[in-house]
């Protein structure tokens, strides 16, 4: 019996950023074609431009439908939306590129819902350009939730020695503390647990961060946020048989998770989770959207306008995102 090789829709991201270069560089690697069948959703001319910039020997093949793809290394199959003018500069904020980045995602969602692709892997978009292009989303995660009609999703960052799921993401710290409540904490932990079970970890060990320093230290810090917002969810899930510990001081929890004590850390707000992962290296991290009907992974770096168009971007994070996407899609 042959092993199914999933089709992964790769969205090109913001055309003025490093997305086109990251995509073409990653598709030079033989391992990608062993793991998945990569289908780019973007602009063919921009990819051709990126191939020249990166001094690669590749072709771009324009197709209208996934059924026309050949998935041969050396030729990039692209569903060409033809949205980017040839003279669009790299490294400059563009409403046109922001709108195009949204349209690539929207097309990928349509293909996923039609079961023509098995997962989505996203190159970076620029939030300011996205907003200037008329799409008022904080980022990919929220946009995908809206496009797929899902009320609530979670962001999980995966690095070689660390997995972190976030209770809140793209909101200010005061708003985050206000938003955190036992139901949201519970659902976030359940989504993370379900994802790891699907990925082959039978009983994930989950460590939950506190909000305050030292997880409040029995009321010494803060105003009882841990007791009010986190502990009820942890107790409920423990009673249901999940291996959940917390709330724990975030500083030591990340250290313990890094040495292997936990399979997943639950961070309460954006920087609490992002900081430790990014210390491990931007090229090592992958962003996974948890709770969608379709698997979505992403590079864990931005559009890098300062180096866009120079051919120097590292494709390591995209390679890891494709690997994770293929693995999760296959297991699903």
Segment holding 163, helix H or strand E = strand 162-166
pTM of the model: 0.86
Give me the average pLDDT of each 10-residue run along the chain (332 residues): 84 98 98 97 98 97 96 97 96 97 97 95 95 90 90 89 93 96 98 89 96 88 93 98 97 94 97 89 78 88 94 94 88 63
Q: Which pLDDT belongs to residue 138?
A: 83
In the chain, which residues fall in CATH 3.40.718.10?
A: 1-151+291-332, 161-279
Q: Which pLDDT belongs to residue 1?
A: 40
Question: Which of 210, 248, 205, 257 lies closest to 229, judged by CA?
Answer: 210
DSSP conformational letter for 63: E
Q: How far apart (Å, rounded) are the C-alpha atoms in residues 72 and 58?
A: 11
> Homologous superfamily of 1-151+291-332 in CATH?
Isopropylmalate Dehydrogenase (3.40.718.10)
Q: Is 161-279 CATH 3.40.50.300?
A: no
Spatial neighbors of 254 by CB under 8 A, at least 6 apart, are 162, 265, 276
């Amino acid at each position: 019996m042959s092993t199914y090789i999933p089709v992964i829709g790769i969205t090109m991201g913001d055309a003025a950023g490093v997305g086109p270069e990251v995509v073409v560089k990653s598709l030079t690697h033989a391992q990608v074609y062993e793991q998945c069948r990569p289908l780019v959703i973007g602009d063919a001319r921009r990819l051709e431009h990126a191939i020249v910039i990166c001094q690669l020997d590749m072709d771009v093949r324009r197709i209208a439908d996934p059924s026309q793809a050949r998935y041969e290394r050396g030729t990039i199959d692209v569903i060409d939306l033809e949205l980017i003018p040839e003279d669009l500069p790299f490294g400059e904020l563009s409403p046109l590129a922001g709108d195009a980045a949204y349209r690539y995602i929207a097309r990928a969602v349509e293909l996923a819902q039609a079961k023509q692709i098995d997962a989505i892997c996203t190159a970076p978009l620029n939030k300011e350009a996205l907003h200037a292009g008329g799409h008022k989303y904080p980022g990919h995660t929220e946009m995908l939730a809206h496009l797929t009609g899902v009320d609530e999703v979670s962001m999980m960052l995966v690095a070689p020695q660390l997995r972190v799921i976030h209770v809140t993401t793209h909101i200010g710290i005061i708003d985050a503390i206000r938003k955190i409540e036992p139901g949201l904490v519970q659902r976030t932990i359940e989504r993370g647990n379900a994802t790891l079970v699907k990925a082959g970890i039978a009983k994930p060990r989950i460590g939950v961060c506190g909000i305050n320093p030292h997880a409040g230290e029995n009321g010494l810090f803060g105003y009882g946020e841990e007791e009010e917002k986190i502990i009820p969810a942890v107790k409920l899930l423990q009673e249901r048989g999940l291996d959940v510990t917390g709330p724990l001081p975030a500083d030591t929890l990340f250290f313990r998770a890094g040495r292997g004590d936990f399979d997943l850390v639950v961070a309460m707000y954006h920087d609490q989770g992002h900081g430790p992962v990014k210390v491990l290296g931007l090229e090592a991290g992958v962003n996974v959207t948890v709770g969608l009907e379709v698997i979505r992974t992403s590079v864990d770096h931005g559009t890098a306008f300062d180096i866009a168009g120079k051919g120097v971007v590292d494709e390591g994070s995209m390679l890891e995102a494709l690997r994770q996407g293929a693995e999760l899609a296959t297991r699903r």
